[in-house]
Structure 1
């Protein structure tokens, strides 16, 4: 029986956008199993805690049967190798993402030569969406329903209220 191919899609997902969800759906067409790896994001100031981001991601992908969501801290390399993944999925929105992602893929290849990095682009309608923009729009009271799923939108509204920014 052939070995099942596991892919890991790492990110901070603060919050998970429709673009992220689109990349996950595309990855599901290519791999037997996709693990969404929600990073603690020690280098970024996250709006949501790691557990909140994991919970939101699970809600967003619950209809996809071959997708798991796990939080992690530390090197993504350690996470990927521990899960036996053969691929790491990275989303590319625009040419501006490419330079950083290309360098990251090279570094990851050096750290784990047995794992391939696969770049996927979201649908045209999602290519401009970034979590940073979504957070800023939400904090400033703008509409985010075109950028995130309804469950994420509700969590964003609640978070903004809890921060006293509504």
Structure 2
């Protein structure tokens, strides 16, 4: 057997949604290790700290990776995804696609990444039908207005969002 395949999945994960978990599940089927990398950018004011997001990702995606026979690692990054991939030894960047709008954007990103790092392959996973409409932005908006987000995020995340927004 050859070297271990490491896949990188980047995002803000603020909050972790069922869509994110779906991509992790699919990625675990093509990689020995999936590294979920949380983008930390000073221009954004996230709902959850990087540490909180990492803890939630470990809690909800760890068991998924284990069931699929893959290792899960959590990291943070503040540079280009391809530079992060190189630094962490990933040869695959995984991305989820909900619709044609995602496809257009992700194809542009994949082409740019391929030019900068030809050794890193981008792989797209179509969103499963139940998670296709979910975006972290919509989840934040619904939670912020007191709505029930339990259909869109893992139970732990729904609890954390409810606690976060009832304190405000």
Confirm or deny a common fold (TM above 0.5): yes
Note the C-alpha offset of 1:43. 4.5
SS of residue matched to 1:97: helix
Partner of 2:116: 111
String of CA shifts for 1:110-161, please: whole Å, max 9, x gaps.
1111000000012101000000000000000111000000111111111112
SS of residue matched to 1:38: strand
17-26 or 51-60, which moves further after superposition? 51-60
Please, which of 120, 123, 144 is the counterpart of residue 125 of structure 2? Answer: 120
Q: Distance in 1 between matches of 2:61 and 2:105?
A: 27
Partner of 2:39: 39
Deviation >3 Å, runs of 4+: 41-45
How many residue pairs end up in the alignment? 163
In the alignment, is the contact (CA less than 8 A) between 1:51 and 1:71 conserved in 2?
Answer: no
In the alignment, is the contact (CA less than 8 A) between 2:82 and 2:120 conserved in 1?
Answer: no
Matches within 5 A, 1:144-159: 144-159=149-164
Distance 1:127-1:43 versus aligned 2 partners, 3 A rule: farther
Q: Aligned-pair RMSD on alpha carbons? A: 1.2
Q: Distance in 2 between matches of 1:62 and 1:32?
A: 13
Distance 1:103-1:29 versus aligned 2 partners, 3 A rule: same
- Which structure 2 segments of 5+ residues have no match? none
Distance 1:62-1:8 versus aligned 2 partners, 3 A rule: same
SS of residue matched to 1:26: helix
Note the C-alpha offset of 1:21. 0.2
String of CA shifts for 1:66-90, please: whole Å, max 9, x gaps.
1111122222222110111110001
